[in-house]
């Protein structure tokens, strides 16, 4: 079993899944609230953990379908237990090997893409899964410009690809996306990485 899957299986059982929801919830909510979901849409969360983002999105009146995928089977079990509506679906898979026929209007991923074997391959797949004009929102606190989080890979002792904001933008451009970035900070947080650097959101639009 790979290290990433093993780690997240453990987190699903020891309360870290809920902790991630608390740790990332504020900045993710702030970001999602800046998106106007004013037309009927479908949504995919890559690396959904216990499904908290899918449950949030499922409450949007224009959401017709919200799917969460995660390579940790135990995270998916947790997500299914907490599911809030028939619009929501949770699947145990990783983005690279997932065989899915449909397409999405929005794809989201928070603190997950850098665990992929290949960020390039994951982005190519995500690009294919989007409708024309669709958007991919990728959030990360782990990037070289954020000096306070760069040591996470050493602490976690699992595969984590560390890149700069410029490199992330290049990955997106190479996959075919039009790219914008946005920083969301939590100015009241006691944690320096949230307060000073914040979450980097890379926003890719499929043209």
Domain with CATH 3.40.50.150 in the chain: 95-207
Please check the confidence at residue 33 and state whether its pLDDT lies above 80: yes
Q: Decide which of 82 and 150 is more confident.
A: 82
The rounded percent of the chain whose pLDDT value lies above 70 is 97
For domain 95-207, is the CATH number 3.40.50.150? yes
pTM value?
0.91
Please check the confidence at residue 191 and state whether its pLDDT lies above 70: yes
Chain mean pLDDT for the chain: 91
Q: Identify the burial level of 106 via C-beta atoms within 10 angstroms of its C-beta, where 0-12 means exposed, 13-18 middle and 19 or more buried.
A: buried
């Amino acid at each position: 079993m790979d290290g990433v899957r093993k780690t997240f299986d453990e987190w699903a059982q020891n309360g870290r899944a809920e902790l991630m929801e608390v740790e990332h919830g504020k900045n993710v909510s702030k970001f999602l609230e800046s998106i106007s979901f004013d037309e009927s849409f479908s949504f995919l969360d890559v690396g959904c953990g216990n499904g908290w983002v899918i449950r949030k999105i499922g409450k949007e009146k224009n959401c017709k379908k919200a799917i969460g995928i995660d390579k940790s089977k135990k995270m998916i079990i947790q997500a299914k237990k907490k599911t809030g509506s028939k619009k929501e679906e949770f699947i145990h898979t990783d983005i690279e090997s997932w065989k899915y026929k449909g397409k999405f209007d929005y794809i989201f991923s928070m603190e997950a893409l850098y665990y992929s074997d290949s960020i390039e391959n994951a982005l190519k797949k995500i690009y294919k899964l989007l409708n024309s004009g669709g958007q991919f929102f990728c959030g990360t606190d782990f990037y070289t410009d954020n000096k306070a989080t760069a040591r996470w890979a050493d602490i976690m002792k699992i595969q984590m690809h560390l890149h700069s904001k410029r490199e992330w933008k290049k990955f997106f451009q190479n996959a075919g996306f039009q790219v914008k970035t946005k920083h969301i900070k939590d100015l009241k947080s006691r944690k320096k990485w949230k307060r000073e650097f914040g979450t980097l959101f890379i926003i890719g639009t499929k043209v």
